[in-house]
Amino acid sequence: MIEPLDLSTFLTVRDLERAARPQLSPSTLGYFLSGADSQTTLRANRRAFRKWAIDYRILVDVGRIDTRTRLLGREVASPILVAPMAYHCLAHPEGELASSRGAAKSSTGYVTSTVATMPLERIATEFDAAKAVDAGPSAPRWFQLYVNKDRGITRSLIERADAAGYQALVVTVDVPIMGRRLRDVRNAFTLPPGMVAANLTDVAQGGKEAYHHAYATGRHDSSLTWRDIETFRTMTRMPILLKGVVRGDDALRAIDAGASGVVVSNHGGRQLDSAIASLDALPRVLEAVASRQSAGFEVIVDGGIRWGTDIFKALALGARAVMVGRPILWGLTLAGEAGVARVLQILRGELTSAMALAGCPDIASITRDMLVRA
């Protein structure tokens, strides 16, 4: 008999990663892990956190730690969101249904990818049903958009997300073309038979041509410009965030195009190799946005977040929230919904401890002076 997995024995995100890796096929593991080309940016994302040390305060009452904050005008339980990631069914048969439940039960925001392996409507229903059990402050549910050359399909995705009650549209802007992930090339990565990108059923799936390649080369629109963002703005009531911004001037253009925020991100090092680490890009994006005094404009960061102290540092530099990518896939691989919940519990627990030890009882007290160069 197989012993049920005791998730309490996994104390860190790294513990989950170590256990999850051998469960995956080489092709899927390669797809999850990979950065682009020499993986310089993938490594830089982690290294950027080590450049900062926490300048903790003493003798502050930290008897109660409050991780609540506000995102797009709503109170949320914590400044953590699940990053949009493709093909969760590669990790677990229940795919995005399990990961969204894990997030909802942990009162954590969730971003559904355009290339999810479950329909965006089912993910929404699952998330909301799981959330109802939890009495805490609401967790946001957003939809990430990849823009299809066929703008009818793009419009339909936006309309479906709107109708399904997604609260924001996250337009990914750092994928004009796919970055070259060497493991994927060597493994000729594609989706296994029977697995589909459930929201893009127009694309040849399960046929002769490998799906992943078919979409990336045939359907994904490389001609996206600022004008398109302005057009999307007119198509939906959802606030729009641009994901993949690393420059101050682009953040200012995002404001001009009507965006409500940006995700400072280099796609987890999977796109332009040698791109700036996302944490390194964060201060200049914030500085640019502050110069415009654009009240309520949200700046979120992702890339390499593996510890609660990483979240603390991102918040101290001025991010409103963080998105977590690969660790979610490790939890999902190991134990579906419960594994995702365990990852989020670990990260939130570590953030809470870091806040207590640093003398920051609430998110507002995690200010810039809490960091010094390491």
Which residues form the catalytic set? 267
Q: Does 326 bind ligand LXCWX6NK (CB under 6 A)?
A: no
Q: Does 86 bind ligand FMN (CB under 6 A)?
A: yes
* Contact window for ligand LXCWX6NK (CB under 6 A) among 119-127, 213-221, 280-288, 324-332: 213-221
Output the six-digit token pair for 280: 């390194």
Q: How far apart are CA 248 and CA 287, in angstroms?
A: 7
Q: Does 243 bind ligand FMN (CB under 6 A)?
A: yes
Closer residue to ligand FMN in complex, CB, 305/360:
305
Give how far the C-alpha of residue 91 lies from the chain's centroid of Cα atoms, to the nearest Å. Answer: 16
Indicate the residue type of 14: R
* One-character DSSP codes across 117-173: SS-HHHHHHHHHHHHHT--SS---EEEEEPPBSSHHHHHHHHHHHHHTT-S-EEEE-
Q: Cα angle at 271 between 265 and 274, to 5 degrees?
A: 85
Considering only 79, 140, 268, 308, the residue that binds ligand FMN (CB under 6 A) is: 268
Quote the least distance from Cβ 45 to ligand LXCWX6NK, whole Å. 14
Q: How far apart are CA 215 and CA 201, in angstroms?
A: 11
Residue closest to ligand FMN when measured from CB atoms: 325
Residue 303 binds: one of ligand LXCWX6NK, ligand FMN, none (C-beta under 5 to 8 A by kind):
ligand FMN
* Contact window for ligand LXCWX6NK (CB under 6 A) among 126-134, 162-170, 212-220, 237-245: 212-220
Q: Does 143 bind ligand LXCWX6NK (CB under 6 A)?
A: no
Considering only 41, 67, 100, 144, the residue that binds ligand FMN (CB under 6 A) is: 144
Strands 69-71 and 74-76, how do they pair?
A: antiparallel
* Contact window for ligand FMN (CB under 6 A) among 2-10, 70-78, 98-106, 299-307: 299-307
Q: Where are the beta strands (DSSP E) in 30-86?
A: 52-54, 69-71, 74-76, 80-82
Query: Distance from first CA to last CA of the chain, Å, rounded?
Result: 49
Indicate the residue type of 336: G
Q: Using CB under 6 A as the criterion, which residues of the chain lie in contact with ligand LXCWX6NK when the complex forms?
A: 86, 115, 146, 175, 178, 215-216, 220, 267, 270
Q: Using CB under 6 A as the criterion, which residues of the chain lie in contact with ligand FMN when the complex forms?
A: 31-32, 45, 83-86, 113, 115, 144, 172, 243, 265, 267-268, 270, 302-305, 324-326
